[in-house]
Chain A
Amino acid sequence: MKRALTLWLPLGAFALFLLFPFYWMVLTSIKPNEELVSVTANPFWVVRPTLDHIKYLLFSTSYPRWFWNTMGVASAATALSVSVSFLAAFALARLRFRGAEGVSLGIYLAYLIPPAILFIPLAEVMLKLGWFDHLWALVPVYSTFLVPFCTWLLVGYLKSIPQELEEAAMVDGASRLRILFQIILPLSAPGLISAFIFSFTLSWNEYLYALVFMSAPGNKTVPVGLATELVRGDIYQWGPLMAGALLGSLPVAVLYFFFVEHYVAGMSGALKG
């Protein structure tokens, strides 16, 4: 009885609030337009489910293109950022050199600077570089928030790996680089997985930079494409829009469910000094 009050009742209330929008997304994406705009029908249910919205999205819009754009940019930005961050993190966690403190502080401050205050001057830089409306340009741009995050995360992880193995290898005359790639790299796998998942999710979810820097419909990512090409301001937009939101959320949701533990470890690891 007590358990019902302290566990199941609050859990049910949280589940209702936190999961309802997803139910709404699924429901709307399979609800025919007549039912969507009906004032008499029960809004919480669907009588004649339809795949029309999903078909429309896949065959009459550029959605597949946006999907692959997002996939490509997110994968490339993740690969670039995690590699670059791993090298920097090794230097910061293991090498004693002058200025290490300063670099760490710089990385940390960079991690706290939200893209939201950078997009205006960055737009000028992109114009000067001639990177405007080039999809690949998002890869280096995304690294500006991924690299500080991943470096921060990986420094924390590397510091938790005991140094004995490296010291033994050093005594045997192994070079620093060999130690990095043959000993540290395999030992860092869990930390690297967290960094990969986080980077991919953050890139997949990015909105502001893609919105400002991409303008040709063929260069858009899923969130930008849906927001700029599918929002028509009429009452029939909801089916395809919700279908797009649902399909666009699936890749990160699937990735997340496979690696929940790494995701959670990454989220709490990012808060550590």
Chain B
Amino acid sequence: MARLPPLLDRTPVLATLLILPAAVLVGGLLAFPLTLGVLLGFKDATIGEPGSFIGLDNYRYLITDPVLRITALNTALYTLVTLVFKLALGLALALVLNQRFTGYRFWRSVLLLPYVVPTVLSAFAWWWIFDPQFSFISWALVKLGLLDHNLDFLGNPWLARGSLMVANIWRGIPFFTVGYLAGLQAIPNELHEAARIDGARDWQIFWQITWVLLLPLTTILTIFSAIFTFTDFQLVWTITRGGPANATHLFVTLAYQRAIAGGAMGEGAAIAGFTLPFLAVLAWAALDALRRQP
């Protein structure tokens, strides 16, 4: 008589048991709150008060709120500008590191540090670098005679936005560098050699071979970076808290300010809700890019 397989060797049973712990954690503390958050955006809830459904009132109010408008603009600008720089500089650094040289491992490890250390802690360093009284940048510019007063980096809206972008670019370069280094190492050397024999110049080789072959990777890196830049909280909240006068808020810092600091949970959830359509598009694009990956 054939022996029946023990219960645990039945694939559906075993699969369910193995996935269950992960599903409970992710379902209970991620999927459920996400749904709750969407609903919360349609309520007038405050901290400790469940509130009642008020339809689109939160959203209707928010689109007339000048602070939200400037926040939307900031978020778009912050994401787009930093992405361009992170991509270009990250790729440039990858190209530099991709040349074999003594000390390669050392330099690669050290130059990835901005991505590794806790963001809030490096943000403190940037905050101090942008200090209105003691910034070394002001000190150096004044010493060089280019300026006659200190720059109020975080007190002037445009300087503050620029300062935040610099800190974000600083932190994000290594992400692109690591991705591109892996991509560059996957390009067979023969391609470059063949092109060189045919008399192609360095920049032609770069644009027509390297860049083209890296395009699928560029798409993926850009999407991932966009998702995390556009929902950034740590850098902005640490360095400017959305100031001066709400000029540097991103969606998430504004949501935090209104919901947690101000207690308007429903309104905060609605502010976070503004990011959802963009996130959905980016997630779909990421999925599509990953499926196309060779």
The answer to whether A and B belong to the same complex is yes
CA distance A66 to B164 in the complex (A): 27
Out of B122, B173, B238, B260, name the residue touching A120 (CB < 8 Å).
B260
CA distance A121 to B30 in the complex (A): 10
Contacts of B231 in A (CB 8 A): 114, 116-117
B58 to chain A, nearest CB (A): 12
Stretch of B34-42, B63-71, B151-159, B190-198 contacting A (4+ beta carbons < 8 Å):
B34-42
Q: Is B293 engaged at the interface, CB distance under 8 Å to the other chain? A: yes
Q: Is B128 engaged at the interface, CB distance under 8 Å to the other chain? A: yes
B105 engages A11 (CB within 8 Å): no
Q: Is B126 engaged at the interface, CB distance under 8 Å to the other chain? A: yes
Out of A11, A87, A109, name the residue touching B18 (CB < 8 Å).
A87
Residue of A nearest to B116 (CB): A256
Stretch of A46-54, A57-65, A139-147, A188-196 contacting B (4+ beta carbons < 8 Å):
A139-147
Q: Is B2 engaged at the interface, CB distance under 8 Å to the other chain? A: no
Contacts of A87 in B (CB 8 A): 18-19, 21-22
Contacts of B290 in A (CB 8 A): 272-273
B118 engages A205 (CB within 8 Å): yes
A144 to chain B, nearest CB (A): 4
Which residues B156-210 have CB closer than 8 A to chain A? 170, 173-175, 178-179, 181-182
B102 to chain A, nearest CB (A): 11
CA distance A248 to B269 in the complex (A): 32
CA distance A252 to B115 in the complex (A): 11
B22 engages A85 (CB within 8 Å): yes
B179 engages A24 (CB within 8 Å): no
Contacts of B134 in A (CB 8 A): 36-37, 43, 235, 238
Contacts of B29 in A (CB 8 A): 122, 125, 140-141, 143-144
CA distance A273 to B287 in the complex (A): 8
CA distance A17 to B126 in the complex (A): 12
A84 engages B22 (CB within 8 Å): yes
Interface of A is mostly: helix
Q: Is B80 engaged at the interface, CB distance under 8 Å to the other chain? A: no
A91 engages B15 (CB within 8 Å): yes
Which residues A249-273 have CB closer than 8 A to chain B? 249, 252-253, 256-257, 260, 263-264, 267-268, 271-273
Q: Is B93 engaged at the interface, CB distance under 8 Å to the other chain? A: yes
Out of A21, A84, A106, A257, name the residue touching B170 (CB < 8 Å).
A21
A264 engages B178 (CB within 8 Å): yes
Out of A21, A112, A204, name the residue touching B279 (CB < 8 Å).
A112
8 contacts between A and B (CB under 8 A): A14-B89, A18-B170, A18-B174, A22-B117, A97-B12, A97-B16, A117-B275, A119-B260
Which are the 6 A-B pairs with shortest beta-carbon distances?
A273-B290, A121-B37, A223-B120, A245-B121, A121-B36, A88-B22
Known contacts A43-B136, A249-B117, then 15 further A-B pairs from the complex at CB < 8 Å, ordered by chain A residue: A21-B125, A85-B22, A95-B15, A114-B231, A117-B34, A118-B34, A124-B45, A141-B29, A144-B25, A175-B8, A223-B121, A235-B134, A244-B121, A249-B121, A267-B178
Interface residues of B (CB under 8 A from A): 6, 8-9, 11-12, 14-16, 18-19, 21-23, 25-26, 29-34, 36-37, 40, 45, 48, 89, 92-93, 96-97, 99, 101, 105, 107-114, 116-122, 124-126, 128-129, 131, 133-134, 136, 139, 170, 173-175, 178-179, 181-182, 217, 220-221, 224, 227-228, 231-234, 238, 252, 255-256, 259-260, 265, 268-269, 272, 275-276, 279, 282-283, 286-287, 290-291, 293
